[in-house]
Amino acid sequence: MIEPGLYHMLFISTTLFFIGVYGFFTRRNLVTMLMSVELILNSVNLNFIAFNKYLWYDKMDGLFFTIFIIAIAAAEAAVAIAIIINLYRSHKSIDVENAEDLKY
Amino acid sequence: MPNATYIALIPLLPLAGFLMLGIFGRKYFKNTSGIIGTTLLLVSTVLALYTAYGYFFEYGKVDGIYQKLVPLKYTWLQFSEGVSIDMGIILDPISAMMLVVVTFISLMVHIYSLGYMKGDERFPVYYAFLGLFTFSMLGLVVSSNIFQIYIFWELVGVSSFLLIGYYYDKPSAVAACKKAFIVTRFADVGFLIGILILSFHSGTLDFNTLIATLTSPETAGYKSAAAASFIGVSALTWGLALVFIGGAGKSAMFPLHIWLPDAMEGPTPVSALIHAATMVVAGVFLVARLFPVFAISSPNALSLVGYVGAISALIAALIACTQTDIKRVLAYSTMSQIGYMMFALGVSKYGGEDGLGFTASMFHLFTHAMFKALLFLGAGAVIHYIHSNEMKDMGGLRKYLPITHITFLIACLAIAGVPPFAGFFSKEEILLAAYEHNPTIYWIALITSGLTAFYMFRLYFNIFWNKEAHVHGEHKGEGGFAMMMPLVLLAVGAAVAGFIPFGHFVSSDGKRLETAFHLQFSIAPVALGLAGIFIAMWMYKTENNKPDKFAASLSGLYKATYHKFYIDEIYTFITKKIIFNLIGRPAAWIDKNIVDGLVNATGNGTKDISEIIKGFQSGKVQQYAIYFLVSVIGLALLFIYWWK
């Protein structure tokens, strides 16, 4: 059993990040896109935790940052879902193509 | 001292008439407007006579010299210490004389128009315009400030424009009023620049101060004006010459005279008032107003005045011999007589016996106003009767228009210089002044005086003698009391005005000038005048073919004069072919392609750029995310590999 090190953590967070990016670019469903954004945010969280633990283990900055990000992500999800619900009410769909109308 | 209120009322009453008739005339004074305008002007005339009497006989003279009094001065616009535009009144011999001339002639024309314009659709408007003109002209003659004179100068131009274009449904009248306005405006640019040059150097706009500064060589203003020069001519001469261009434009001097004959499109009483007796002498008046500066400081500018006047007098007299429209003959005759006044100023010197030209010029202005107004009003009566301006439609009218005939004859004798009528005295003085100072101009003047007699009597015989009258249609008679009364009054003026000892009142330096009468000197001009009259009588008294034969024998010269020496054609050529092609078209090209091009390029450029970048803003969230990602990667690479 290999003790997981910094590189493993970074590998996982990078993977999560690109899965999130891929999902954000390719999905048409707004809820799925929102989930992809959450993935990206969590990959960042993981980075903060990993660096804090392996490089500056006597400090707590990374952990606090992570807690802030989780709080903000929750608020952001609430706003995003509110927008999506409104879009659904007016367009009867949550396809991202319909959100183009917001431009006008 | 004079009472400023009375003098100020002289121009203000016609202004009141203008405002009243102009604003309410068509509604409330449809039929009474003529009476109102005439009454107001009658009051003005009485006040002007009262003022002139007071000035000349009571308070004007101090130690035998007529003073320049300034009874009223109101600072209107102050620019800096000493430089301000004032509205004021100056009283000196020439302005007092002009007040009388302008109000009197204007009154005559007002009365005459009661008959002449009767039944006209726009009767109140006509009287309103006459009031505006009289106001501006009176304001002009009493101006105490060179800028004030410019303001009234332009007002006079506007009212002249309005009255020439009075029959605005006639295309020729519209063209004539535009022409008059543009030509005089063009000349007025010279006047304005002249004012600026003179006032820049003298540091004032006030007439008295300006004249005092520019005539005494020890002042700083005189020194700077005489020292500054452009193409070898001092600023002082330039300033005066430019002011004279303004005067030449208004006074129809060659080569800016082209508007005057066309201005005859206006109603005939207007021609009598504006284009014969008063407005066209504004140029002479202006030179006379600045005469000390011309005479003392810049003899060059003064001799320019002299030669322009002499050339205009001769050319106009030649052209007048061949014209067939009676009003045009009179227009050219006016130009010729104003030429006389101009060169009389031009040959004059300042002060004493040498200032005879100045007195003679003002004297001629005075007498000319009388007989030329009379000639025009007489011509108006003829036109009123015949309904045509052309000589060929007239003839034998002496039986039908007896009063007009006699008064017209008096005016013709006066202008031809036959003693003892008014023109004789003033013309003698002018010729004497020219004889003493400039022989070239004297000979031109002598020839012109012979020609004057010839063309005036050509006109007279063609209208009243020649063929038998074939009058048809309804006979309205001579136009009633309103039209005949001014004729008779003016005829009296034209007959006796010459006996006024003018030199006692008006002279270049305000001192009394004795004008001696030289019998042996008058022989030549009078003989020439009589010769002109007899030739005209021989050729035109009865219907015959002598004029045609004579014209044929002089074919080239006759044609050239008949076409007014092609001056109009030259102007058309210069403006249409040269100015339009060399300046107008390139300017239009620059405007269209470069100025407009720049503006259009800015607009089109913005539009094209926005066309290109508009695609980026698609509203597709995922596309934005890709731009964002690509840019972040790009920036990351930039920072990692190039920024260091």
Q: Indicate whether A39 belongs to any domain.
A: yes
pLDDT (0 to 100) of residue B470: 63
Predicted ipTM of the assembly: 0.83
Query: What letter would DSSP give residue B325?
Result: B
pLDDT (0 to 100) of residue B304: 87
Count the domains in chain A: 1
Q: What is the mean pLDDT of residues A74-100?
A: 88
pLDDT (0 to 100) of residue B469: 65
Query: Three-class SS of residue A29?
Result: strand
Q: Where are the alpha helices (DSSP H) in B203-298?
A: 207-215, 220-227, 235-250, 259-262, 268-272, 282-289, 291-292
Question: By the CB < 8 Å criterion, does B232 face chain A?
Answer: no
Q: What is the mean pLDDT of residues B527-545?
A: 79
Is residue B90 within 8 A of residue B207, CB to CB? The reply is yes
Radius of gyration of chain B (CA): 30
Q: What are the strands, taking DSSP E only, across B58-151?
A: 61-62, 65-66, 69-80, 83-91
Say yes or no to pLDDT of B474 above 60: no
Chain A residue with CA closest to B627: the answer is A25
Query: Three-class SS of residue B206?
Result: strand
d(CA B121, CA B577): 41
pLDDT (0 to 100) of residue B359: 86
B interface mutation test: which of A97, A98, A101, A104 has the most B CBs within 10 A? A97
pLDDT category at B75 given cuts 50, 70, 90 is confident
pLDDT (0 to 100) of residue B635: 94
Per the structure, the complete domain to which residue A51 belongs is given by: 28-95
**A96: chain B residues, CB-CB within 8 Å:** 620-622
What tens digit of pLDDT does each residue of B172-225 get?
888 888 888 888 888 899 899 998 888 888 888 888 888 888 888 777 777 777
Q: What is the mean pLDDT of residues B478-506?
A: 80
d(CA B196, CA B83): 12
Tally Cβ neighbours within 10 Å of residue B263.
29
**Residue of B620, B626, B629 with shortest CB distance to A100:** B620
Q: Indicate whether A80 belongs to any domain.
A: yes
Q: Which residues pair with B84 in a beta bridge?
A: B78
pLDDT category at B264 given cuts 50, 70, 90 is confident
Q: Between B324 and A73, whose confidence is greater?
A: A73
CA end-to-end span of chain A, whole Å? Answer: 58
The candidate with the shortest Cα–Cα distance to B145, out of B84, B79, B222, B99, is B84
Q: Residue A32 sits in a domain of what CATH number? A: 1.10.287.3510
pLDDT category at B472 given cuts 50, 70, 90 is low
b vs e for B212-235, b when ≥16 Cβ sit within 10 Å of the residue's Cβ? bbbbeeebebbeebbeeeeeeebb
b vs e for A42-59, b when ≥16 Cβ sit within 10 Å of the residue's Cβ? bbbbbbbbbbbeeeeeee
Q: Indicate whether A67 belongs to any domain.
A: yes
The pLDDT mean for chain B works out to: 84
What are the two backbone dihedrals, phi and then psi, of residue B179, each rounded to the nearest 5 degrees?
-60, -45
Chain A residue with CA closest to B618: the answer is A100
The residue type at B256:
L
**Residue of B617, B621, B625 with shortest CB distance to A99:** B621
Is residue B468 within 8 A of residue B542, CB to CB? The reply is no
**B618: chain A residues, CB-CB within 8 Å:** 100, 103
Q: Indicate whether A91 belongs to any domain.
A: yes
pLDDT category at B581 given cuts 50, 70, 90 is confident
Across the interface, whether the CB atoms of B622 and A24 are under 8 A apart is answered: yes
Say yes or no to pLDDT of B475 above 60: no
pLDDT (0 to 100) of residue B31: 78
Assigned token pair, A60: 């707590």
Q: Indicate whether A22 belongs to any domain.
A: no
Assigned token pair, B464: 């009243």
Assigned token pair, B492: 């009296």
pLDDT category at B477 given cuts 50, 70, 90 is low
Q: Which of A34-43, B466-475, B484-493 has the highest mean pLDDT?
A: A34-43
Question: By the CB < 8 Å criterion, does B387 face chain A?
Answer: no
pLDDT (0 to 100) of residue B318: 87
Across the interface, whether the CB atoms of B618 and A100 are under 8 A apart is answered: yes
What tens digit of pLDDT does each residue of B394-403 get?
777 777 788 8
Q: Indicate whether A73 belongs to any domain.
A: yes
Global pTM value: 0.77
Chain A residue with CA closest to B623: the answer is A25
**Residue of B619, B625, B629 with shortest CB distance to A103:** B619
Q: Between B603 and B419, whose confidence is greater?
A: B603
Q: What are the strands, taking DSSP E only, across chain A?
A: none
Across the interface, whether the CB atoms of B620 and A96 are under 8 A apart is answered: yes
Give the range among B41-50, B61-70, B307-316 with minimum mean pLDDT: B61-70
Q: Between B52 and A98, whose confidence is greater?
A: B52
pLDDT category at A58 given cuts 50, 70, 90 is confident
Question: By the CB < 8 Å criterion, does B621 face chain A?
Answer: yes
Query: What letter would DSSP give residue B467?
Result: S
Q: Indicate whether A104 belongs to any domain.
A: no
Across the interface, whether the CB atoms of A25 and B620 are under 8 A apart is answered: no
Tally Cβ neighbours within 10 Å of residue B605.
10
pLDDT category at B633 given cuts 50, 70, 90 is very high
pLDDT (0 to 100) of residue B384: 81
Q: Indicate whether A3 belongs to any domain.
A: no
Q: What is the mean pLDDT of residues B519-539?
A: 80
Query: Three-class SS of residue B65?
Result: strand
Question: By the CB < 8 Å criterion, does B631 face chain A?
Answer: no
d(CA B213, CA B293): 9
Minimum distance, in Å, between the CA of residue B596 and any CA atom of chain A: 34
